[in-house]
Amino acid sequence: MDSSLLELNSDPYTLLNGMFSTQLPPLLNNLITEHSSKELIKELRANPKETLFDIDQSTKLIKKLAPGIKSPEYIYGNNWAAESIKFFTVKIDDSWRPMAIPNIKHSLMFTYNSLIIANSTLSKLYSTDERLNGKTSHSESPIIGRDGLFSSMLYEDDIVEEDIAVGFIGYDGTNKFFKESKLQRFKIESTYPYVLQMDLSKFFENIYTHLLSQISITDSESSEKFKNYLLWLDEYNQKINDDHTKGIIQGPISSKISAELFQLSLDKKYLG
């Protein structure tokens, strides 16, 4: 594996840092650095922590925490449920928005698994053709589909492909694929006399986690590894939310990516 490519890639930092709200105090925001994120993923890849994580040997995805790690007694569920740190921010209408921060062990699990699945699935799902004319043509996600090369951190072979929307760009970034998708939507809307836009109140709070495991975007692209990832994503969103199945927590990038995949599945259903 070309180690120089590791130095250029920011996916681990984008995902790990994105697990924590941008509205946290600067001291907490700066605990995770780009360098430490890369080193953490490199170490986990080279030396799987079997005393900390239960890793599926066929898919290489982290399934859960190792059996020796127990949940707090007051949380119902199996051994990898955890309590999130909850706080509130103020909405534009002065009402309160519930936010939460996942446990750092769960944040690392999401980052590692998402890096694996991005290379086999998201890189194809968010390719240029799919963004403009295919499965993700209605998506305006600024968090998935970075310009350039995807991380090869978890793979032995480096595949250099130019100008493909892959990887993660975080909350505040934009790229040309995101801008092109938005322009495409404007072109479509201009052909209709009326366009309905909706702001769904309490959207995250009302997502039923078991629906995540039933996401269907395309038949051909739904590999066994991606299906396992979706099953894990269902459990993961429960475990970081006191083992609840109703609602996913707001704040971390994992919730935004979960909601993005869920909405793509809804697009497919309604568009036929």
> Which of 20-34, 129-143, 229-243 is predicted least confidently?
20-34
Amino acid code (one letter) for 66: A
Tell me, what's the pLDDT at 62? 92
Alpha-carbon Rg for the chain, nearest whole angstrom, is 19
Domain ranges for the chain: 3-271
Amino acid code (one letter) for 211: L
Is 129's pLDDT higher than 70?
A: yes
Q: Strands 96-101 and 144-146, how do they pair?
A: unpaired
Tell me, what's the pLDDT at 231? 92
- Residue bearing tokens 């430490």: 36
Mean pLDDT of the chain, nearest integer: 76
| Most confident region among 52-56, 139-143, 154-158, 196-200 by mean pLDDT | 52-56
pLDDT tens digits for range 200-248: 778 888 898 998 888 887 665 457 888 899 999 999 999 898 888 899 9
Who has greater pLDDT, 130 or 43? 43
Chain centroid offset of residue 258 CA? 6
% of the chain at pLDDT higher than 90: 9
Beta bridge partners of 210: none
| Most confident region among 27-31, 85-89, 227-231 by mean pLDDT | 227-231
Integer Cα distance of 233 and 110 in angstroms: 8
Name the token pair of 165: 């929307």
Helices (H), 82-174: 104-117, 123-125, 128-133
Q: What is the DSSP string of 204-260?
A: GGG-BGGGGGG--S-TTT--HHHHHHHHHHHHHHHHTTTT-SB---SSSHHHHHHHH
Beta bridge partners of 232: none
Find the mean pLDDT for residues 247-264.
88
Name the token pair of 256: 């935004």
Is 252's pLDDT higher than 50?
A: yes
Is 162's pLDDT higher than 60?
A: no
Burial class (CB in 10 A: 0-12, 13-18, 19+), 255: buried
